[in-house]
Amino acid sequence: MLSRLSPLAQRTISPRLLSNAQRTLVNISYPSPKIAVLELDRPPVNSLSLEMSAKIVESIKEIESNPEVQAMVLKSSNPKIFSAGLDITEMNRPTVARLEDFWRNIQTLFLTLYSTRLSTIASIDGHSPAGGCLLAMSCDYRIMSATPSYKIGLNETKLGIAAPYWLKDLFVTTIGYREAEVGLALGKLYSPKEALEIKLVDELVDSPVIDVALKRADEWASIPEKGRVASKVMLRGAMIQDLEEKREMDVGWFRDFIMEEGVQKGIEGYLKNLSKK
Ligand SMILES: CCCC/C=C\CC(=O)SCCNC(=O)CCNC(=O)[C@H](O)C(C)(C)COP(=O)(O)OP(=O)(O)OC[C@H]1O[C@@H](n2cnc3c(N)ncnc32)[C@H](O)[C@@H]1OP(=O)(O)O
């Protein structure tokens, strides 16, 4: 990890030359006492490996531990990709133990981000498929760049896999039953304009997304915490409790699904096509 390198090495190595093993994977900054920015920094595409998920969770907890901080902006260090979703290589011929651990970390990431006392603003300046969309939907408010080529949605079926039941629930809660039914079946990736129309995102901006995200974070941070958190718990509590009770059942579903030979062949083929591009 970068933090293990000496201060001199950290100053002299260009960040672009660092391998992921040397990186912190996320960066935390505080533009003002009430606002934190959590930047995803796992090149090339911010995919969610076991270590990346664990690091995001650890960082949210670190930010939460400062009672002064009220809002957190989630952004990417990549100028055109928010997050490419789960690290597909984690699901490609894995060991059962690693796969199960990977999934427990993804569950924890969702539960932590979805239930944090912080107001969370997703600053989506780039592509946000599958697990990237999960991160965005777990936030309280989503702002996306209006760049027409960017895509957001749940494309799992295109890889030959299915969203877990709790991600389906989150999708339904966000965009409504019928749109979710079609979107999930087709593995649909929406343009920013389409995403705004179905309320998958709350706002589109032409200007640097982060500028508007910081403004919204200020607004959310100005709401008294007790009432704001109580209303969040009322709206989100049932879904959180449900997954807490079914975590091991969900791990079993994921493991059995992913380890099937037909699913493995599909994942392998999808990865080959991605690399060939
Ligand atoms: C069973 C229940 C699970 C349900 C929950 C979630 C499921 C998921 O999240 S699965 C992941 C789904 N994600 C995708 O399908 C996105 C795939 N990626 C892309 O479409 C593009 O990479 C993207 C549009 C994000 C960016 O395009 P480019 O800028 O052109 O980059 P490249 O495509 O050239 O990618 C660079 C490099 O990264 C590798 N890559 C991309 N995505 C992933 C990923 N999700 N996991 C692992 N690796 C990924 C890609 O193969 C390239 O690698 P190299 O060829 O080795 O350079």
Give residue-wise pLDDT tens across range 27-45. 999 999 999 999 999 999 9
Write the pLDDT tens digit of every residue in 164-175: 999 999 999 999
Instruction: Please tell me the distance between residue 155's alpha carbon and the centre of ligand 1 in angstroms.
Output: 11
Cross-sheet strand order for the sheet of 152-153: 128-129, 152-153, 189-190
Q: Does any ligand 1 atom lie closer than 6 A to the CB of residue 184?
A: no
Average of per-residue pLDDT values in the chain? 94
Question: From the alpha carbon of 275, which atom of ligand 1 is closest?
Answer: 55
Instruction: Tell me the sheet residues that pair with 121.
Output: 73, 141
Looking at the predicted structure, is the pLDDT value of residue 17 above 90? no
Complex-level ipTM: 0.99
Burial class (CB in 10 A: 0-12, 13-18, 19+), 218: middle
Q: Which CATH number fits domain 22-276: 3.90.226.10, 3.40.50.300, 3.40.50.620, 2.60.120.40?
A: 3.90.226.10
Domain boundaries, the chain: 22-276
Burial class (CB in 10 A: 0-12, 13-18, 19+), 71: buried
Helix boundaries (H) for the chain: 7-12, 50-64, 96-115, 131-138, 165-175, 177-186, 192-197, 209-221, 225-259, 261-276
Distance from Cα 241 to the centre of ligand 1, integer Å: 31
Which amino acid residue places its CA nearest to atom 17 of ligand 1?
A: 84
